[in-house]
A = this chain, B = another copy of it.
Amino acid sequence: MEIVFQPDGKRVRVDKGTTIMEAAVIAGIPLETVCGGKGICGKCKVRLIKGDSLGGDSKGGLVLACQTKIISDAVIEVPAGTRLLEQKILVGGMEKKIPLNPNVRKVYLKLAKPSLSDQKSDLSRITCALERKGIVLGNVSLDFIRQLPIKLRNSDFKVTVILIGNDLVGVEEGDTTDKKYGISFDIGTTTVVGYLVDLNTGKEMAVASRMNPQVVYGEDVVSRIDFAKTDEGLRELNDKIMQAVNEIIDEVSVCIENIYEVSIVGNTCMLHLFLNITPTNLALSPYVSVLKDPVNIKASELGVKVNEKANIHVLPTIAGFVGADTIGVLLASQLDEGDDIRLAIDIGTNVEIALGSKEKIIACSAAAGPAFEGAKIRHGMRAAPGAIHRVVISDGVVYGKTIDNAMARGITGSGLVDAIAEMLKNRIISNSGKISDDSEIHALYGDRLVHEGGEAAFLLARSITVTQGDIRELQLAKGAIYAGTNILMKDLGIKTSDIKEILLAGAFGTSLPKENAQVIGLIPDISLDLVKDIGNAAGVGSKMALISKNERLKAELLSKKVEYVELSGRKDFQDEFMDAMFFPHSNLDYFPNVARLIHSTSFR
């Protein structure tokens, strides 16, 4: 059966007996509801223009979408007032609209005072008033009950109640509905970012970030897992991340009491550490996580310093090494929408790769190591003043750019990709990655072809070199990503030309020189127009889940729907990986040289 929603013109196919409400969700037109589809609140009125239905009494042609089942092809008009308010979200410069439908509600109640003929208990007075508004209640916290008699009488029975989901968690005197905030977090292995969001408007009010203070216990996930193998180690790492989270909360918020919900994304290990759950088994074959489902837990139970009744919502994960950060990327990129097959790569300390469309999404984790972040690279460094981040080599001259144009101090991941790609184009290294001993090359670059620490190296500027070892590290890293991508393509039964878009997420993804990434074979060769960076998409996804229950539901569906491909269990992965370590292009002429695009100075 086909249903057309007007004035959008969106068409969906559904089974006979589907409610209009369900069909609207499938069509991506979320409708207003207060009562959650119980037919009480009357907010989901739509007009059945054509077609047959069952249930849902018609009044003036309007029916309740939640109560009306469609039993034939139909045309339905959704009045503007029935649509959920939408909030625009920017993802890599593109605007996406999502329904503003936070899990936190504040309701102002002006209540009748008790009398001998109205002896309702204080709590019943509240619950009856909410029921009259069509709000179906879940649990009521004891703390709420304890505060109730005093707050009701202090405020002359005019109070604002706070609902998280359907649970009554708090009561405030008078009308405080305008003060309703949340914070969304992206907990990375290296960096922690928090965004303060006004839940009444969905707007971002402030942002703050910190280095993850766990970094001192090891730069990568595996060393953190190792440190957390004792109870004390686990507690220490948990304390550290909680401290960073609370510092960020302090920095972004004026009144922590008005923060009622916090959403969290991060890789699976970071989430385990945040929740004080041992990550030990993530590092041992068969790499099993303790938890995959979303978690909702009281702020006070975890030690997050916001309103103590606030809900901490940890997004679900996909697998031990494909975490809630990937779920965030999928939400932000809406990879599951549309017919086109798209590839999303989130390059951080760990790399997660997802490929698919609305039909199917598969994902894997590539153990790329921290080479892109400067670790294990002789002169590697993070993006800081003096870091070489762009390199062009042309006709024997090396051009480059450092951050803030400061004196060169080291090289970033992007700089390394550029440098190695340019060395490849100029035959300074071979397709196998070996630094050339060809006499012609030596004639041209003589004093740049040096030795450092007993190995061949290429001098970029001052004393900053790219060593043979650095090249091998990059080959391992990019090989892991490319091999992972190839396995996913193989499993989905597609070829490179079937990929309609490549989305690069994460700080490194954003700064990656796209053409040179193709030159070295880090990402598949599709038209550069189709390679987009989408910034901190994981963080955007976290924010989307904070302001919209619809997105939270979608996250849960994605967590179940996305098929995880475990590379370590695959016999074909080693082959792919060996192949992918080589530089794939012998004819590099077809890559237009990007040199002229950079305002670079020649390096010495």
Residues of A within 8 A of B (CB): 114-124, 127, 139-140, 142, 145-146, 148-150, 153, 275-278, 280-281, 285-293, 295-297, 301-302, 319-320, 564, 566, 568-569
Whose C-beta in chain B lies nearest to the C-beta of A124? B292
Residues on B with C-beta less than 8 A from A285 are: 116
A304 → chain B, closest Cβ, in Å? 13
A562 → chain B, closest Cβ, in Å? 13
Beta-carbon contact of B116 and A280 below 8 Å: no
A16 → chain B, closest Cβ, in Å? 17
Known: A122-B290, A122-B291, A123-B290. A275 touches B145 (CB 8 A): yes
Whose C-beta in chain B lies nearest to the C-beta of A142? B297
Q: Given B142, B275, B286, which contacts A118 in the complex, CB threshold below 8 Å?
A: B286
Beta-carbon contact of B119 and A566 below 8 Å: yes
- Minimum-distance CB pairs A-B, first 10: A116-B569, A121-B292, A114-B288, A116-B286, A121-B289, A122-B290, A149-B290, A114-B286, A123-B291, A115-B286
Beta-carbon contact of A290 and B121 below 8 Å: yes
Tell me the bound Cα distance from A291 to B149 in angstroms: 10
Beta-carbon contact of A275 and B142 below 8 Å: yes
Beta-carbon contact of B291 and A116 below 8 Å: no
Task: Please name 11 further chain A to chain B contacts, defined as beta carbons within 8 Å, in addition to the given A121-B290, A121-B293, A146-B278, sorted by A numbering.
Answer: A118-B286, A119-B286, A120-B292, A124-B293, A140-B293, A145-B275, A145-B291, A146-B275, A146-B290, A149-B278, A153-B281
A269 → chain B, closest Cβ, in Å? 13
Residues on B with C-beta less than 8 A from A119 are: 286-288, 319-320, 564, 566
A550 → chain B, closest Cβ, in Å? 21
Residues on B with C-beta less than 8 A from A287 are: 116, 119
Tell me the bound Cα distance from A288 to B116 in angstroms: 9
> What are 30 pairs between A and B in contact, CB < 8 Å?
A114-B286, A115-B286, A116-B286, A116-B287, A116-B566, A116-B568, A119-B286, A119-B287, A120-B288, A121-B291, A121-B293, A122-B288, A123-B291, A124-B292, A139-B296, A140-B293, A142-B275, A142-B297, A142-B302, A145-B275, A145-B295, A146-B275, A146-B276, A146-B277, A146-B290, A149-B277, A149-B281, A149-B290, A150-B278, A153-B281
Known: A119-B288, A287-B119. A277 touches B145 (CB 8 A): yes
Residues on B with C-beta less than 8 A from A123 are: 290-293
Residues on B with C-beta less than 8 A from A319 are: 119
A317 → chain B, closest Cβ, in Å? 8
Tell me the bound Cα distance from A276 to B147 in angstroms: 11
A114 → chain B, closest Cβ, in Å? 4
Q: Given B121, B275, B301, which contacts A288 in the complex, CB threshold below 8 Å?
A: B121
Tell me the bound Cα distance from A288 to B146 in angstroms: 14
Residues on B with C-beta less than 8 A from A276 are: 146
Residues on B with C-beta less than 8 A from A153 are: 281
Q: Given B117, B145, B280, B286, which contacts A569 in the complex, CB threshold below 8 Å?
A: B117
Whose C-beta in chain B lies nearest to the C-beta of A275? B142
Tell me the bound Cα distance from A569 to B280 in angstroms: 66
Beta-carbon contact of A142 and B295 below 8 Å: yes
Residues on B with C-beta less than 8 A from A121 are: 288-293
Residues on B with C-beta less than 8 A from A148 are: 290
A117 → chain B, closest Cβ, in Å? 7
Tell me the bound Cα distance from A375 to B118 in angstroms: 33
Whose C-beta in chain B lies nearest to the C-beta of A143? B301
A296 → chain B, closest Cβ, in Å? 8
Tell me the bound Cα distance from A142 to B150 in angstroms: 32
With most chain B CB atoms within 10 A of its CB, the pick from A119, A127, A148, A286 is: A119
A124 → chain B, closest Cβ, in Å? 6
Tell me the bound Cα distance from A150 to B230 in angstroms: 12
Tell me the bound Cα distance from A437 to B270 in angstroms: 91
A566 → chain B, closest Cβ, in Å? 6
Beta-carbon contact of B115 and A149 below 8 Å: no
Tell me the bound Cα distance from A174 to B139 in angstroms: 33
A245 → chain B, closest Cβ, in Å? 16
Residues on B with C-beta less than 8 A from A288 are: 114, 119-122
With most chain B CB atoms within 10 A of its CB, the pick from A117, A277, A286, A288 is: A288
Tell me the bound Cα distance from A296 to B290 in angstroms: 28
A171 → chain B, closest Cβ, in Å? 12
Tell me the bound Cα distance from A573 to B564 in angstroms: 74
A259 → chain B, closest Cβ, in Å? 20
Tell me the bound Cα distance from A124 to B119 in angstroms: 47
Whose C-beta in chain B lies nearest to the C-beta of A127? B293
Tell me the bound Cα distance from A544 to B127 in angstroms: 28
A66 → chain B, closest Cβ, in Å? 20
Tell me the bound Cα distance from A281 to B119 in angstroms: 11
A168 → chain B, closest Cβ, in Å? 11
Beta-carbon contact of B149 and A280 below 8 Å: yes
Tell me the bound Cα distance from A117 to B296 in angstroms: 29
Residues on B with C-beta less than 8 A from A145 are: 275, 277, 290-291, 295
Tell me the bound Cα distance from A202 to B547 in angstroms: 47
A303 → chain B, closest Cβ, in Å? 12
Whose C-beta in chain B lies nearest to the C-beta of A123? B291
Whose C-beta in chain B lies nearest to the C-beta of A125? B288
A213 → chain B, closest Cβ, in Å? 22
